[in-house]
Amino acid sequence: MFYISLIVSGSPSSTHWFIFSLQNYIDLLGSDRFDIYFLNSLVVGVVVTAGNLLFCLSAGYALARGKNRLIALCFMSVVGVLMIPAHVVMIPLYQEMVAFGWLNTYWALIVPWLVSPFGIYLVRQYIESLPPDIEDAARIDGAGEFRILFTIVAPLAKPILTVLGIYIFLANWNSFLFPFIFTNDESVRTLPVGLAFYLGKQSIDWGHLMAGASLSAVPIIIIFLIFQNKIIDGLAHGALKD
């Protein structure tokens, strides 16, 4: 333990001693529940992020390169969904989870969020800015659409896919309302829901709550440090013209 003295009101005789300790972190990491919450959040965040990268890339490519009325109608439907807050569908979505028998399962935490209309719109706008000449050359050589998508378009769209992946992971990592509604079993609770139980009716366990909040921010900080250059490239693209 480390000690530090604080002089109050400038009086040398008024000295208070504060004790700095890692005991809250030790207690938290030693708790059986915290490991489960952390692992659940990690699994849900990774799977949902992977699903969004796959489906948003596929849908965004189809909407960007398709040139017919049906494609235009699909794009308008995506834009229309963007104008609907997610909380509006909370009750119908809960009823679906009950009907499917997915309450207190990973399915309820993963399946409804595997594709994002914002992600589709974002990827579509980015792919539209890419020149289609390379894709046309690949078609002349006999490449199919899936090969073009994953070997040509996907590498060119890495900056925006990185931004989308971080956005989706961060949104799901910090998601509280829907995991709180869809789960009441400790075995499938995510980290934000688990930390909420440190808020009691009569008192708040501030020490363990703040320690848990600090640890929950570590994965996000690591991701930003690793992919910060890709984030800047993805956000800056479109602001500059060749």
Complete domains list, the chain, with CATH: 46-236 (1.10.3720.10)
Nearest-angstrom CA–CA distance, 101 and 107:
9
User: Quick check: 97 and 182 in contact, CB under 8 A?
Assistant: yes
pLDDT tens track for 142-187: 888 899 999 999 999 988 898 899 999 999 999 999 999 999 888 8
Q: Is 87 a residue whose pLDDT tops 80? A: yes
Residue 213's CB is within 10 A of a number of other CB atoms, namely 13
| pLDDT at site 96 | 93
- 119 pLDDT band (50/70/90 cuts)? very high
Q: Is 113 a residue whose pLDDT tops 90? A: yes
Nearest-angstrom CA–CA distance, 177 and 197:
14
The closest of 1, 124, 135 to 72, measured between CA atoms, is 124
Average pLDDT of the residues of the chain: 82
What predicted TM-score, i.e. pTM, was given to this entire model? 0.81
Nearest-angstrom CA–CA distance, 169 and 50:
9
| pLDDT at site 32 | 62
Q: Which residue has the tokens 């992020």?
A: 49
